[in-house]
Structure 1
Amino acid sequence: MTEHLLTQSLSMIMVSAIAVWLFAALRMPAAMGYLLAGLAIGPYGLNLVAISDDTLFLAELGLIFLMFMVGLEFSLTTLLAARTDVLLAGSLQVGGTLVAIAAALWSLGLDPRIAILLGGAVAMSSTAVAMSQLAEQGEISSQHGRFAIGILLFQDIATIPLLVAVDSWSRQAPVDPVHLLGRLGLAAIAIVAVSIIARPLVRNVLANASRSRSNDSFLLAALFVALGAAYLAHLAGLALPIGAFIAGMVIGGSDFKHRVEDDLRPFRDVLVGLFFVTVGMQIDLGLILVSPYAIFAWCTLFLFGKALITFIVGLMLRRTAAIALRVAVILAHGGEFGLLLLTLAMNTGLLPSEIGQPVLIALALTMGLAPLLIQRGALVEHIVGNRRARVAATETAIRTTSASLNQHVVLCGCGRVGRLVATAFEAAKIPHIAIESDLARFKEAQRQGHAIVHGDAAHRRILSAAGLAKARLIVITFDRHSAVERILKFAGEQQTAIPCFVSTADNQDITSLVKAGAKVVFPENLAAGLALADQSLLLCGLTREEAGRIITSLRAELNPDLRERVGV
């Protein structure tokens, strides 16, 4: 028995590691790698691991830690501060999607419990996928980024009543609204009671563990709180993940939030990964041949039906059509909590496999497409609104600003790095013009008094309006690789080659940027690391000349093939 369990565990870990590594290399979400691993080793793949109580227990632990970490991020203050984006927009998007799909399925003769469950599963999007892709594109603080994140936060919270409903309906009792409202009320009472009664108890437990100055003691206390709360919720007749959410919410309002989050994140990542593996093990891709039309219909609901509802919600809240469509594209996919609802419902017998499997496959497929859709979201500018008129207006404003400039610097991006560069240019009285597309960063730079215009430097016409042809230098301080390459291409097309300096987050893309035309690439990790090393060597007693020789030698060794092109 022990040997069999060890073999299964090794198979899951080995295949998961390979799949996650592969998807990380392709810049795809790790969740898709775990799903692929489960599909490969499960009953519908190589049949290396069977779905058993052991694997389902690991998956349930993953759900407990997932909801615990969501609870850590739950803050009533945060919700009230962003009530329009979170409470109003989120409730309209989730409620509208759930009601529309549930009503359609109910009219087709489906059990109302299953109709509501499937509507809720479709309404959820992947917070992890959306946020990681937006962060990679530098759009977290953009208007559409903030709006989408607000809705995603509400979706996470809206999972709680749906989990209560699944737990109640899995008992195979007929639909009883009074009973369901009673269980939802019980969950609400539990949240309030824990917030008032258990908050000081939990804080005292963690405070005592912290005072012991033992990392092991604190970690065990945090684990005890998470699992203990889940067990108490189970005793109260609620689902295990709900108790974990309540415990996370209590700790999230304390001073221990960040330490608990850091200590338990490895447990969360591994166990949630195993949850995705078990989900992948239950996906039967053979149904693509058996039920292709059903899978296509569900994919259409995720990609277009939910997107349409989200777009309408954006317009109702007076967002521009471009922003509303950007957000609709960002959320047009399935998410982790949709997987959670579907697998729980199928495992408890509430959702028949022949109905749930096509939805599960469609959800997994749309999650895989999500990064590509979000990445290409900017193309909505070609679809919505009078793009040419907007670009022309921006171009005119920039051309007016740059008309008096000659032999100036074009600074592309004015965020935390760009503002420092702009400050140096101002101190040296070097003529320059800064271009920033993100509204929040633009306003911050404007507030600090920098010479800045609002526009996307990756557009040829915007760069031309900024006086690219008569500029002496281009400095690029944002980290969107495709946009940087376009700017380098535009600069290389000028009759007189304009040197381009590029700042990047790390040194992974140096070679490709140099090939694209960058004269010098400044990786932020090398610059910060070598500057810190230089100061440390001086404090350790080395002379400035000795420290300089060591740093110069290191600088040459880090990228020997590109010595003249790497600035630090």
Structure 2
Amino acid sequence: MNFDLIALALGDVAWISLAFVFGFIARSVGLPPLVGFLATGFLLNSQGIAAGDTLEKLANIGITLLLFTVGLKLNLRTLARPQVWAVAGLHTTVVVALFGFVIYGLALIGIPYVSNLDFKGAFLIAFALSFSSTVFAVKVLEEKGEMASLHGRIAVGILIMQDIIAVLFLAVSTGKWPSAWAFFLVLLIPLRFVLFYVLKRVGHGELLVLFGFTLALGGAELFELVSLKGDLGALLLGVLIASHPKAGELAKTMLEFKNLFLLGFFLSIGMSGQLTIETVLIGALIAPFVLIKSALFFALLAGFRLRARTSLLTSLNLTNFSEFGLIVAAIGVSNGWIADGWLIVMAITLAVSFVIAAGLNKNAHHIYARYQPTWRRMQRPKRLADDSLFNIDGATIVIIGMGGIGTGAYDRMRDQHGETLVGIDIDSVTVKNQQAAGRRVLLGDPSDSDFWDRVQSTHTLKTVMLALPKFSSNLAVLEQLKEASFSGKIAVTAKFDDEAEALKQAGATTVFNVYAEAGNGFASHVVALSP
């Protein structure tokens, strides 16, 4: 019997169980479970347990799957917006210059541990701090159901631009330039039609899952073979098939696998090295710099004619430091530019920024609503067409979330009430398709307090029907309705009994349990067909 394998299995059970306990505690106090996973990593590290090959492989697969699913939902036209490429470029330039001089100033005045940095080392650390975490931001957006929102799309676009900057840095600092074979990657464009053909015929079960893994991991490996960042390969493969009707289903299918593997990523951050009092203090000292990053993002986005709310939510999504900072620190250590302890400092700074960002993003809508007049004074009078408020034009019924359930509800309500209703969806592609089908559907964010204030001022709305896929999204809308003093009927869909109870307590007039009522709906449909 192989006792080494038994020891490895028991070790895995131990850290998985510990991650569950700390993740559960974090969730119980209103923080994302990933904060608990980070704490688990630091605890294991304090006990002398280092991240092994198994954990590293889990982390790498998690990041690859994450970027693949981002690609499945990405519209490349978003990257062409100046609110993305210009903001990303300006922000990186200003942050590197500002943080670089501040850190070098701290070194000159003899701050312990920082004093060992020279000019090049200070600016290397500043460059590492200029990036925001793709993993964290996308995970938060998905949990809140806001990936398709304007602020979500702009945040992801900025993160992708930062990834491109990261690739250039790696090429310059390590001499790892793309090989001549990288030119042939353009052949992936005509290959998309083959991928479409396969995706259409793989069905909805295990073959769909395997196809997703093949594209994500295969794309990453293909890019690595030509000396490009593998994660970008996974992202590109996702983009290639994003326009296929089954892309959304594939993204949902890969969701839980991605979340499981990302556990390894968050654990590995905390286990990246031994902690000392000095590294903890310096990491805690640098972590608040993330708020300066956030303020600069807000100023730039508002300056590029985004609404104050969109600018704020995008900035909060990016209020964190990036795992790429660990890579930059590792390159700095290997080249002798900085001391090896800075790798631990960056890990602590990253973890603390995640805790800060988790709290801010959890309360993002409340932060905007509470200080709404202040934020709105900072926005420019002229704004972008797709970031402007709209009217519901006298509608008495609004259906929020125009997926399968919302579409069915819209058609039934239109048959009974005529054209006195309107549909709302956060996804521009969904809105375009619904409008093409002849439905009156508008693009909007239902968690936007500005929107509900404007709707309430018309005094025409009597019924709100929430058919959003995320439980947290439904709760956010109910909170906005409560803040706006809406007195009409509120119907909400739910998938589980505990969610239904929580929605009723949050103000829903009635809750429709999708799974529990499906049988009744099916039977009613059959009865209607009976002679």
TM over 0.5: yes
- Which of 344, 355, 358 is the equivalent residue of 1:371? 358
Letter in 2 for 1:83: A
Q: Is the 8 A contact 1:82 1:150 kept in 2?
A: yes
Match in the other structure for 1:324: 311
Match in the other structure for 1:150: 157
Closer/same/farther in 2, CA of residues 126 and 272 from structure 1, 3 Å limit: same
Partner Cα separation in structure 2 for residue 71 and residue 442 of structure 1: 22
Partner Cα separation in structure 2 for residue 143 and residue 266 of structure 1: 25
Task: Say whether residues 1:161 and 2:168 are aligned partners.
Answer: yes
Quote how far apart the aligned CAs of 1:152 are: 1.9
Letter in 2 for 1:481: L
Match in the other structure for 2:474: 480
Task: Say whether residues 1:523 and 2:513 are aligned partners.
Answer: yes
Match in the other structure for 2:88: 90
List runs of 5+ in structure 1 lacking aligned partners. 169-182, 391-395, 403-407, 539-543, 548-568
Quote how far apart the aligned CAs of 1:410 are: 4.6
Match in the other structure for 2:49: 50
Give matches, 1:469-548, under 5 Å.
473-478=463-468, 479-485=473-479, 487=481, 499-504=489-494, 506-528=496-518, 531=521, 544=527
Q: Is the 8 A contact 1:67 1:244 kept in 2?
A: no
Match in the other structure for 2:127: 120
Letter in 1 for 2:270: G
Match in the other structure for 1:175: none
- Which of 457, 464, 489 is the equivalent residue of 1:465? 457
Q: Is the 8 A contact 2:410 2:423 kept in 1?
A: no
List runs of 5+ in structure 2 lacking aligned partners. 109-116, 382-388
CA RMSD of aligned residues (A): 5.2
Partner Cα separation in structure 1 for residue 19 and residue 262 of structure 2: 12
What is the aligned residue count? 482
Partner Cα separation in structure 2 for residue 74 and residue 61 of structure 1: 21
Letter in 1 for 2:288: T
Match in the other structure for 2:39: 36
Deviations 1:127-157 (A, max 9, x none): 3433343344444333322222211222233
Task: Say whether residues 1:383 and 2:381 are aligned partners.
Answer: no
Deviations 1:40-77 (A, max 9, x none): 222x2xx1x532xxx343354345435644674669x9
Task: Say whether residues 1:294 and 2:282 are aligned partners.
Answer: yes
Match in the other structure for 2:21: 18
What's the secondary structure of 2:178's corresponding residue?
Answer: helix
Letter in 1 for 2:53: F
Partner Cα separation in structure 1 for residue 418 and residue 508 of structure 2: 21
Q: Is the 8 A contact 2:59 2:264 kept in 1?
A: no
Q: Is the 8 A contact 2:396 2:463 kept in 1?
A: yes
Partner Cα separation in structure 2 for residue 446 and residue 244 of structure 1: 38
Letter in 2 for 1:279: I
Quote how far apart the aligned CAs of 1:521 are: 0.5
Q: Is the 8 A contact 2:132 2:319 kept in 1?
A: yes
Deviations 1:335-357 (A, max 9, x none): 33334544676688764354343
Partner Cα separation in structure 1 for residue 482 and residue 285 of structure 2: 43
What's the secondary structure of 1:481's corresponding residue?
Answer: helix
Identity %: 15
Partner Cα separation in structure 2 for residue 351 and residue 268 of structure 1: 34
Quote how far apart the aligned CAs of 1:363 are: 1.8
Quote how far apart the aligned CAs of 1:275 are: 3.7
Closer/same/farther in 2, CA of residues 26 and 129 from structure 1, 3 Å limit: farther
Partner Cα separation in structure 2 for residue 370 and residue 223 of structure 1: 28
What's the secondary structure of 1:141's corresponding residue?
Answer: coil
Q: TM-score, normalised by structure 2?
A: 0.69
- Which of 137, 148, 151 is the equivalent residue of 1:141? 148
Closer/same/farther in 2, CA of residues 526 and 113 from structure 1, 3 Å limit: farther
Deviations 1:199-232 (A, max 9, x none): 98xx99xx9xx99x99699799779957865885
Quote how far apart the aligned CAs of 1:484 are: 0.8
Closer/same/farther in 2, CA of residues 453 and 314 from structure 1, 3 Å limit: closer
Quote how far apart the aligned CAs of 1:306 are: 1.0
Partner Cα separation in structure 2 for residue 83 and residue 97 of structure 1: 22
Match in the other structure for 2:270: 280
Letter in 2 for 1:9: D
Letter in 2 for 1:102: G
Quote how far apart the aligned CAs of 1:376 are: 2.9
Quote how far apart the aligned CAs of 1:481 are: 0.7
Q: Is the 8 A contact 2:294 2:319 kept in 1?
A: yes
Partner Cα separation in structure 1 for residue 484 and residue 213 of structure 2: 57
Quote how far apart the aligned CAs of 1:277 are: 1.9
Task: Say whether residues 1:338 and 2:325 are aligned partners.
Answer: yes
Larger radius of gyration: 1
Letter in 1 for 2:282: A
Quote how far apart the aligned CAs of 1:514 are: 2.4
What's the secondary structure of 2:287's corresponding residue?
Answer: helix
Task: Say whether residues 1:65 and 2:65 are aligned partners.
Answer: no
Closer/same/farther in 2, CA of residues 88 and 194 from structure 1, 3 Å limit: same
Q: TM-score, normalised by structure 1?
A: 0.65
Partner Cα separation in structure 1 for residue 494 and residue 138 of structure 2: 20
